[in-house]
Structure 1
Amino acid sequence: MRFATRLPIVIAAAALTGILSAPPAPAAVPTTIPLTVTNNSGRADAVYIYNLGTNLATGQQGWADAAGTFHAWPAGGNPPAPAPDASIPGPANGQATTIQLPKFSGRVYFSYGQKLVFKLTTGGLVQPAVQNPSDPNRNILFNWSEYTLNDGGLWINSTQVDMFSAPYAVGVNGNTTGRLKPGGYNAVYNTLRDTAGGWGGLIQTAPDGSVLRALSPLYGVETGALPANAMDDYINRVWSKYASETLTVAPFGEGTKYFGRVTGNVMNFTDGSGAVVTSFQKPDSASVFGCFKLLDAPNDQIRGPISRTLCAGFNRTTLLTNPNQPDPSNANFYQDAVTNQYAKTIHAQMADTRAYAFAFDDVGNHESLIHAPNPQQATLTLDPLN
């Protein structure tokens, strides 16, 4: 997922020696830290846990067992071959299970009732893709958290970038995020069903009719579950506005600014000297929802940061009301009649308003992420489905 590749690289400052006034050196991050998974779901189903990712010491992809020991994936095949069973027995309802997180960049999956199906291609692990009706995990209730543990500490988040499903909260050293309000799980689905424009089409159900998840708007557009023109009216109005006005983007807060104006089908951004630094063709709805394609964001210092800011402004629909981006106030988000209703609905049901409802929801720090430079204890709490 996008989160792991977007994490900041943190380099610990070297400890000064021989100077009495120097601050103490930061404690080294342990090789593994405990993650306690607590099952407050109220469900009787068996729970299975998976810890999958990249070993940061070697760059190898693989999985970790309950003790945090790394196991590299074997060679895959074409067609994909079954992956080794990496499942860890999870806690029963009302119980807790503790596993060890190694220095990984990856995901902690959990599933109810059935083990997830993972396969290996010659290029590596095939992640579940439930937007595909033939995916073997399509009718399994599951979700995942993402984390990176390295010498700079632990980053862990809850995510709805790909889908909204079984609720959970994450925590580190007693700080938590990702928890829904009481009744928030059902409220998300009910709101989507009641929102005009086809947003209820994002909801997937099991053969017995029970709700499994809501797909992200990007996957909704790609599969036809959501109209492909869902954001077009807003995109057109933005392009019209900035044909005669200037959009100012300050992707790093105070400091460097870029200035956008539309000519024809293209928004050109200039720097303070007036030189064009990057340009964007008018995006379509998929580009907005996925923050990719016509809003591609390379890992550089100019186009990527501008694109991230544009993408956040489109999804939050703040580009018409504020020509200075990013808009810092979440009170201004999602106010247009044409907006990312999925992201709006999820944020509204979060106890702390924070969520990762689209790829660059971290613009302005509105995401459900915790970073601890000295992690001692992490938690993942499976919450009730109500």
Structure 2
Amino acid sequence: MFEQPRQPRRRRRLAAAAAALAVGISTAVTAITTTGAEAAVTADTLPLTIANQSGRGEQVYVYNIGTLLSTGQQGWADASGTFHPWPGGGSPPVDAPDASITGPAAGASLTIRMPKFSGRVYFSYGRKLVFQLATGGLVQPAVQSPADPNADTLFNWTEYTLNDDGLWINSTQVDMFSAPYAVGLTRSDGSTISTGRLKPGGYRAFFDALQDLPGGWAGLVRTRSDGTVLRALAPGHGVEAGALPGTLLDDYVNRVWDRYRVQTLTVAPFAQSPEIEYYGRVTGDVMTFTDAAGRVVTTFGKPDSDSILGCYKLLDAPNDLVRGPISRTLCAGYNRGTLLSSADQPYNEPGEFYADDVTNEYARLVHAQMADGRAYAFAFDDVGAHESLVHDGAPVHASITLDPLD
């Protein structure tokens, strides 16, 4: 029986006031409903300019894939923004139609149009990406698998949602750190905002620092036979691949567990409603959370490193209004090493993130090399608003800039 390859971990965003159900194959940015005087996005498509400032001579290929929000269909968009649904797949998977758009040469730019998608814009250097269709839908590149047909290709992607309430577009390192890029948008008043750009020399500095760390972190780096550094896997994938030990964060988890056997952990997961609090205590192998009335609202088993690094399994975060918000707060606290910094979470002092001897070193290094300090280095890096995301309710233009690998 064919087993569909494990898909890349997807960055998940919980709506601030309500839990919005994630849509589509990529669950890019689950949009927060726009309020106030912001105008709606009335056009069916939005221009997206891809500027190639990489300095690399290879041909660039671009792909815009996702879910068409008006119908829920999965598919791809061509350069004009026209939607094409995927045909049926197979078992084993069959090759998907060629959805590539020939990208701009070094120093040039290309403008395409984005439909109202929840999706991803992929870009690759030197060769096209291979997408396949299983009976359950699109098989996206599995960056952690050396058997994936894209394993030797230099590529990356951005995630976005464009709907009637605006555009949310972000850079992401949830699955890997690879070919650098920045995302941005232009507002109706002509002003621009952007994020995702590395510091000068930040690309090489990240890999140099990662490879100098003891404890297996250098095993996250993937290099092509010609010497090209392709990517560093996110540590959850590193645990899966055996590059990092499954006990990576156990010491920290044990200390957290011991502390909250004798002290209450207070979680206030909604920045706009700080009065909503939940209270956690550990008994045996279970952390139980109660509400202000003393009612049990959810429980968590003692998480392993994989659950923490992937923000799933024992730290699953459903799109509800209780367990999901608590879980994502815990996930951020474990990854940033702040659950011992304060019994009130989320703890939002970035200068004290990743300070424990046992921490997510990958996330620490990603944030350290970002020009504005913002990144999606793990799935819920938006807790406390530290994510590399830009949004506007009525944008007139979007951009992706392919940056140098230096």
TM range (shorter): over 0.9
User: What do residues 293-335 of structure 1 show as CA deviations (whole Å, max 9, x unaligned)?
Assistant: 0000011111000000000000000000111000112111101
2:211 alignment partner in structure 1: 193
1:145 aligned onto 2:145: no
Question: Aligned residue for 1:17?
Answer: none
CA distance in structure 1 between the aligned counterparts of 2:210 and 2:40, rounded to whole angstroms: 46
1:377 and 2:390 matched: no
Q: Distance in 1 between matches of 2:308 and 2:67?
A: 29
Report the AA paired with residue 237 of structure 2: Y
Question: What residue in structure 2 maps to residue 318 of structure 1?
Answer: 338
1:146-171 alpha-carbon deviations (Å, 9 max, x no partner): 00000010000000000000000000
Gaps of 5+ in 2: 1-9, 13-26, 187-191
Structure 1 position 9, deviation (Å): 4.2
Query: How many pairs were matched up?
Result: 376
* Residue 31 (1) aligns with residue 47 (2): no
The residue that corresponds to 1:2 in the other structure is 11
State whether structure 2 residue 107 is matched by structure 1 residue 87: no
Query: Do the aligned residues in 1 keep the contact of 2:278 with 2:290 (CA within 8 Å)?
Result: yes
1:108-136 per-position Cα deviation (integer Å, ceiling 9, x unaligned): 00000000000001111000002111100
Q: What does 1:280-295 align with in structure 2 at a 5 Å threshold? A: 280-295=300-315
SS at match of 2:262: coil
CA RMSD of aligned residues (A): 1.2
- Structure 1 residues without counterparts, runs of 5 or longer: 14-22
Tell me, yes or no, if structure 1 residue 221 matches structure 2 residue 224.
Answer: no
The answer as to whether partners of 1:29 and 1:152 remain within 8 angstroms in 2 is: no
Answering whether residue 183 of structure 2 is matched by residue 163 of structure 1, we say no
Using the size of structure 2 for normalisation, the TM-score is 0.91
Rounded Cα–Cα distance in structure 2 between residues aligned with 1:8 and 1:27: 13
Instruction: Classify the secondary structure of the residue corresponding to 2:39.
Output: coil
Note the 1:1-386 alignment, pairs <5 A: 1-3=10-12, 4=27, 7-10=30-33, 26-173=39-186, 174-253=192-271, 254-386=274-406
Q: What amino acid does structure 2 have at the position aligned with 1:333?
A: F
Runs of 4+ in structure 1 deviating by more than 4 angstroms, as ranges, are none
Cα shift at 1:29: 3.3
Shift of 1:5: 5.8
| 1:144/1:5 CA distance change after superposition, 3 Å | closer
Deviations, residues 213-238 of structure 1 (Å, cap 9, x unaligned): 00011100011011111111101100
Q: What's the CA shift string for 1:190-229, capped at 9, x where partnerless?
A: 1111112111110001011221000011100011011111
Asked if structure 1 preserves the Cα contact closer than 8 Å seen for 2:28 and 2:160, the reply is: no
Give the AA of the match of 1:244.
V
Amino acid at match of 1:232: D
TM-score by length of 1: 0.95
Aligned match of 2:21: none
1:28 to partner: Cα distance: 3.7
Task: Output the amino acid matched with 1:73.
Answer: W
Q: Secondary structure at the match of 2:227?
A: coil
Following the alignment from structure 1 to structure 2, what is the Cα–Cα distance between the partners of residues 251 and 12? 21
For 2:318, what is the secondary structure of its paired residue? Answer: coil
Q: Secondary structure of 1:108's partner? A: strand
Q: Is the 8 A contact 1:11 1:151 kept in 2?
A: no
User: What is the aligned-residue identity percentage?
Assistant: 65
Q: Secondary structure at the match of 1:111?
A: strand
SS across alignment from 1:110: strand
Query: Partner letter of residue 315 of structure 2?
Result: L
Q: Please give the alpha-carbon distance, in whole angstroms, between the structure 1 residues aligned to 2:336 and 2:40.
A: 39
Structure 2 CA distance for aligned equivalents of residues 11 and 36 of structure 1: 24
- The 8 Å contact of residues 11 and 376 in structure 2, kept in 1 or not, is answered as no
The CA distance in 1 between the partners of 2:106 and 2:286, in whole Å, is: 54
- 1:245-286, Cα deviation, whole Å (9 max, x unpaired): 111000012111001111111111111111111110100000
